[in-house]
Amino acid sequence: MTAQTEIEITGVSKVFGQGGAAFRALSDIDLSIRTGEFFTLLGPSGCGKTTLLRVIAGFEQPTEGSLRINGKEVAGLGPNQRPVNTVFQNYALFPHMTVAQNIGFGLKMLGRPKAEIAATTDEMLNLVKMEAMAGRRPAEISGGQQQRVALARALAPRPRVLLLDEPLSALDLKLRKEMQGELKRLQAETGITFIFVTHDQEEALTMSDRIAVMSAGRILQLGSPHEIYHSPTERFVADFIGDTNFLELPVTAVNGARAQVTLPGGAEAPARLPEGMRPAPGETVTLVIRPEQARLVEDGPADLQAEVESAVFFGTDTHVHLRLADGQGFILRRQNVADMPEPRPGDRVGLRLSPGALRVLRG
């Protein structure tokens, strides 16, 4: 069964200013977001992700292009004319109202009957596990609890789409991780389409059904967290998502979707090619390999030889900084086991690469 499309964005651009002072924040965005999915716009500050969210919300109008929600063209319509709600970074709760009053405020503005407001407020309090806090004011609850109230208030009118503009950024690390799970639970229980904006790669990888990685007003890659992490096609994407190694290596042969490359030290290894890319033999290409896709070997064959420069202990794992035979740097990540000997600076070690670990990048 084909998933239904909730949002269809076609050729959307957004330009601020005019003439020489004009700034193109979005450039020809094409994007389909499915009904009921947790979709994330990911990228650094200034990449256009918040501008795109504001265009979907109706706070900004596109300079060019079409925007349809549930099949209806909404470009030109204001926020109150769209079946969406937004949760902002600062939550924007009313300080003089109780938790329950904040949650029911949107329904009251829509003119819903008192009985419906009371029933929906109770339902939302239960959904976000805030029943015991119903009579408190925002100043009397924690930051994480305030965020739950903001979510409940946004969910109460039952929008088709919930937009979340970096709502976890003000929370400390432990609470942020807890709320990641809460957001995913709320999305699964309500079935509402969530569009989440963040610059935090971990948030995107742990919560999303799909991720759009953005840079300079464009979508560079769109895919599942697994695809974005394990199969980046652009150097920017590979570098932005997680720790990684880049190697500049010559191609010896190309066979279909794979290239044969020469590793430092002379060994050869296969590398996957991006769709449509076919480098010539002898051409130097950029390859990506994740730190956990190599392991140290004491005996037996090795794909690479290296010298240890340093080892950094992180508790669950250790990052080993290495220098390859041709001078290129390499970081290996290995999980720690009790009494495991730690590599020391100056040690000569062999590395074995996981099958399919090497991928060629476009840029």
pLDDT tens for 233-257 read: 899 999 999 889 999 999 999 998 8
What fold characterizes domain 5-238?
Answer: Rossmann fold (3.40.50)
Which neighbouring-strand residues pair with 251?
261
Q: Which of the four CATH numbers 2.60.120.260, 3.40.50.360, 2.40.50.140, 2.60.40.10 does domain 243-360 have?
A: 2.40.50.140
Q: Is 265:334 a contact under the CB 8 Å cutoff? A: no
**Could you tell me the two tokens for 254?**
């190309």
What is the percentage of the chain residues whose pLDDT exceeds 90? 69
- For the whole model, what pTM was predicted? 0.87
pLDDT by residue (tens digit) across 109-125?
889 999 999 999 999 89
pLDDT tops 50 at residue 1: no
Q: Which residues, 6 or more positions from 222, have their beta carbon under 8 angstroms from its beta carbon?
A: 31, 210, 211, 212, 213
Reported as a single tens digit per residue, the pLDDT across 335-345 is 888 877 888 99
pLDDT at 224: 97
Helices (H) and strands (E) in the chain, counts: 8, 20
**Residue written as tokens 């600062």?**
90
Spell out the domain ranges in the chain.
5-238, 243-360
The SS3 call for residue 253 is strand
3-state class of 13 per DSSP?
A: strand
- Side-chain-facing half-sphere of 356: CA atoms under 13 Å: 3
SS3 94: coil
Q: Are 167 and 40 in contact, with CB atoms under 8 Å apart?
A: no
How far, rounded to the nearest angstrom, does the alpha carbon of residue 92 sit from its chain's CA centroid? 24
